[in-house]
A and B are shown apart, each in its own frame.
Chain A
Amino acid sequence: MSAMVQRLRVSVFASPTMSVVNLAGMLLVAIAIVEAMQKVYQGGATYFFQTLGFGLAQGAIFALVALGYTMVYGIIELINFAHGDVFTLGAFFSLALMPAFGLVEGKSSGLGMIISLIALFLVTMLFCALVNIAIERVAYRPLRHAPRLAPLITAIGMSSLLEGIMFIWRGPFNLHYPDFLPNAQIPIGGDVTIAAKAVFVIVVAIILMVALTAFINGSTLGKAMRATAQDRDAAQLMGIDINRTIAATFFIGAALAGAGGIIYGLYYNSVTAFDGFEYGLYAFTAAVFGGIGNIPGAAIGGFAIGIIAAISDGYFQVSWTRVMIFGILIFVLVFRPTGLLGMRVPEK
C-alpha cells in the first residue's frame, strides 16, 4: 500500500507543470465522484443495486472483449480494430447456428438446453478464433515490419469488411436474439434484488477469465506469450516460434470475444451488425483504463467502465453516456497514459 502511495506521489508530482495538470485532473475526477455519490444517495438502495447489477453484467462483457484487445496490444502493439466486430460475429454466428443445436426460443429448457448452450459456446468460440487467426494471417502478419500506420489502417479496413459482411448477410435490422435465460430477480436482502441474467453473465465471464489467467500463468504457450510480449527478439532467440505464439494470442482473444458475443445476445436479446464497433471502443477504453497490455487491468477496467456507464445511464442522461466514456478515454490517455495498473511500455 505504501509503495502504491509512493508511486502515485512520484507520478503526480513528477514536474511542476505536470503536477498542476494532474492536480486539475484529480480535482475534476473528485467533483465527478462527489456529484455521482450524491445522486446515488438520493436514488435509494434498491435502484442502486439494480444499476450496479446491470453495470457489472455490462462490464463483464466489456472485460471479455477488452482482454483480446489488451493481449494483442501487449504482444504486437497493434490496436486490433476488427476485434469488436469479431465479437459481433460471435453473436451473429451463434444466432445462425441455434436451430442446428436444437435451441428454439420458448421450447428448449432444462439440462438439454444447458448442454446445447455449452456446445454452442464452444463452436462459436472456435469459429471466431479461426476467423481472427485468418485476419491476422492476411492483414497483419505481412505488415509486421511495415511502418506503424500500415497495420492500423488494415485493422480499420478489416473492421469495416467484417461489418460489411454481416450487414450484407442480415441487413440493417435489429435482430432478435432468443431469450433462454430466466427472467427472475434473485433477492439478496431486503427489497434489494439482482437479475438472474446478470448473475449468469458475470459468472460465465469470471469462469472464462479465471481459465485464461490459469492458461497464461500455467501453460508453456502462456509462458511463450508473456516472453514474446516482453521482448520479441529475445524470445525468438530462446527458440519460441513467434508466429505461432502471436497466432495463439489472436486465437484466445477471439475465443473470449466470441463468448462475449453470445453472452451479449443472451443478455440484451438484440443485436445489429454495427454493435461491435462501438462495443469494441468501450472495451478498448476499458483496456486503456486498466493499463493496456495488462491482463488483470483489462478485466478490472471492463468492470469499472461497465459500472460507470450504468451509473451514467441510470442517474444522469443516457445520451451523454458515450460522451462520458470517450471523455474518460481521452482523460486517461492524457493524465495517466499507462492506465490504472499500467506498466510503462517503452516505445519500441
Chain B
Amino acid sequence: MALLALSYPAIVQFITGGNGDYLVGLAADGGIYMLMTIGLNVVVGFAGLLDLGYAAFFAIGSYTYAIVASNHMGVTPIGHSFHIPFWIALFIGMFVAAAAGAMLGAPTLRLRGDYLAIVTLGFGEIVPLVFQNAGIWTGGVPGISALDVPTLPGWFQGPWVGQDLAWVPDFRFTSANLTAYYVLMVILIAGVVFLVHNLYNSRLGRAWMAVREDETAAAASGVNTISVKLLAFSIGAATSGFAGAFYGAKLSYVSSDNFGFIVSVTVLSMVVLGGMGNIPGAMIGAAVLYFVLFWLLPNAPQQVSSLASSLGLNFLNASNPNGWPGIAEEVSRSKYVIFGAILVGIMLLRPQGLLPSQIRKQELKHTADLVPAAK
C-alpha cells in the first residue's frame, strides 16, 4: 500500500504529461488531514470518546512550531528568536499538544460521554480565540509568518523533478519540490499507522474497546477507565499536534483562521465516512472526503458554469437581482450542505462507514437487532 502511495506522483506526472505538481501538492496537503483522521480515529473510533474540538490540538501544534522555529520570538518581549531544528520542533509541537490534551482530559474525562463532547467543543472554540487575542505573543489576527521549512540531512534528487539523480546534502524542502513533501508525508503516515496499529492490537487497544462497549463492565473487569481514556485522548491530541506542526512548517505560516470548528467537523466526517475504529477505513475516508472538498468542490463551480453555457443555459450563469448569484456561486456555497448530508446519510444508511471495522460493524448491527425498533 505504501508502495502504491509512493508511485502516485509518478503516475500523476505521467497522466498529466509533467504538469501534475498541483495534484501532488494537493495530495501532500491531504496527508495532513489523513494524519489527523488517524489520530481522531483513536479517540472516537477506538475509545468511543466524541472529541469536537480536535482542531484545537492542531492549532496548538502549529503555533508551538511557529514559536520555536521562526523569528517571531525576537519581536516579543523575550527578544530572542528560536530556530530549533525541524525534526525536534516537530516533536515539541506534538508533546505540547499531547500535554494540552492530558490537561483538558484529566478533569473532564470522568464526565458523561456527551458532556465530554461539549467540553472539547468549547475548548476548540477557545484555543483559536486565545491565539488570536494573545497579541504580540502569537502575532494576533495576522498570525505568524516565515516559519522554518522542513529540512533533512540528505535527500535524493532525481528525474522526477527534472534533474539528474543525485544525493543532496542538507536538503531544504521548498514549494518548488512538492514531490519531496509528498514522499515525506507518506513516510510519516506509514510511521503513524504502524504505531497506532500496534497500539490497537495491544492490551491498551483491547482496553479501549472494552471502555467503548461498556464502561461499567470494563471498570469491573479491572480496566482503569480514566487512564485508558486519558491515553486515547492524549494520543489523539499528539497526532493532531504533530500534523499541526508539519502543517505550519509546510505552509510556513500560521493564523488562527485555519483552526475553526469546520476543521474539527471535517476530520470527524472523515472518520465517520471511512468507518469508525478502522485505520484503513479512516485513511480512505480522509482521502475520499479530501478529494471531494478540496478538489471536486473548488473546481465544480467553473465546470458547472461551463457546462451550463455549453448547454445554452447562459441565464443560469448571470446573477440577477432577485438573489440568484449565478450557478457557479450557488455550487460553491454548497459545501456545508454536503458536509451535513454526508454525516446524516452515513449514520442512517451505513453507520459502519465505507470500510467498516468488523467488530464495530457487529456492534452497530446487533444493537439494532436486539432492541426492536420503535414504532
Give A219 Cβ to nearest chain B Cβ, in Å: 23
Is A101 in the interface zone, CB < 8 Å from B? Answer: no
User: A154-B348, A157-B343, A168-B334 are contacts. A333–B363 as well, Cβ < 8 Å?
Assistant: no
Is B203 in the interface zone, CB < 8 Å from A? Answer: no
Given the complex of chains A and B, what is the CA–CA distance between A163 and B341 in angstroms?
A: 12
Interface string of A149-175 (1 = CB under 8 A from B): 111111011111111110110111000
Is A222 in the interface zone, CB < 8 Å from B? Answer: no
- B-chain residues with CB within 8 Å of residue A164 when the two chains form the complex: 333-340
Give B93 Cβ to nearest chain A Cβ, in Å: 22
Give B324 Cβ to nearest chain A Cβ, in Å: 10
Is B302 in the interface zone, CB < 8 Å from A? Answer: no
Is A145 in the interface zone, CB < 8 Å from B? Answer: yes
- A-chain residues with CB within 8 Å of residue B338 when the two chains form the complex: 164
Of B125, B261, B329, B368, which is within 8 A of A146 by CB? B368
Is B84 in the interface zone, CB < 8 Å from A? Answer: no
Given the complex of chains A and B, what is the CA–CA distance between A333 and B107 in angstroms?
A: 9
The chain B residue sitting closest to A150, CB to CB, is: B347
Is A242 in the interface zone, CB < 8 Å from B? Answer: yes
The chain B residue sitting closest to A285, CB to CB, is: B122
Total CB contacts across the A-B interface at under 8 A:
156
Is A313 in the interface zone, CB < 8 Å from B? Answer: no
Given the complex of chains A and B, what is the CA–CA distance between A138 and B344 in angstroms?
A: 9
Given the complex of chains A and B, what is the CA–CA distance between A243 and B44 in angstroms?
A: 29
Binds A, one of B25-33, B66-74, B127-135: B127-135
Report the interface size class on chain A.
35 or more
Is B126 in the interface zone, CB < 8 Å from A? Answer: yes
Given the complex of chains A and B, what is the CA–CA distance between A168 and B265 in angstroms?
A: 19
User: A139-B344, A243-B374, A329-B122 are contacts. A149–B339 as well, Cβ < 8 Å?
Assistant: no
User: A164-B334, A243-B375, A320-B133 are contacts. A147–B340 as well, Cβ < 8 Å?
Assistant: no
Of B121, B125, B325, which is within 8 A of A322 by CB? B125
Of B114, B122, B335, B373, which is within 8 A of A142 by CB? B373
Is A143 in the interface zone, CB < 8 Å from B? Answer: yes
Of B125, B323, B347, which is within 8 A of A157 by CB? B347
- A-chain residues with CB within 8 Å of residue B184 when the two chains form the complex: none
- A-chain residues with CB within 8 Å of residue B374 when the two chains form the complex: 141, 144-145, 242-243
Give A310 Cβ to nearest chain B Cβ, in Å: 18
* Residue pair A170, B339 in contact (C-beta under 8 Å): no
Is A62 in the interface zone, CB < 8 Å from B? Answer: no
The chain A residue sitting closest to B116, CB to CB, is: A333
Is A330 in the interface zone, CB < 8 Å from B? Answer: yes
The chain B residue sitting closest to A241, CB to CB, is: B375
Given the complex of chains A and B, what is the CA–CA distance between A236 and B261 in angstroms?
A: 39
Given the complex of chains A and B, what is the CA–CA distance between A255 and B72 in angstroms?
A: 51
The chain A residue sitting closest to B351, CB to CB, is: A150
- B-chain residues with CB within 8 Å of residue A148 when the two chains form the complex: 113-114
Question: A residues bordering B, Cβ < 8 Å?
Answer: 21, 77-79, 138-139, 141-154, 156-165, 167-168, 170-172, 242-243, 277, 281, 284-285, 288, 317, 319-320, 322-323, 326-327, 329-330, 333-334, 337, 347
Some 24 contacts from A to B, beta carbons below 8 A apart, are: A138-B348, A139-B347, A141-B374, A145-B367, A146-B347, A146-B367, A154-B344, A160-B339, A160-B343, A161-B341, A164-B338, A164-B340, A167-B333, A167-B336, A168-B330, A243-B374, A288-B118, A322-B126, A327-B122, A330-B108, A333-B108, A333-B119, A334-B107, A337-B111
- Nearest first, the 10 A-B pairs at minimum CB distance are A157-B343, A161-B340, A164-B336, A164-B337, A160-B340, A326-B122, A157-B344, A145-B371, A160-B339, A329-B122
| Apart from A161-B340, A322-B126, 6 more pairs, CB < 8 Å | A160-B336, A160-B343, A164-B333, A164-B339, A167-B333, A171-B323
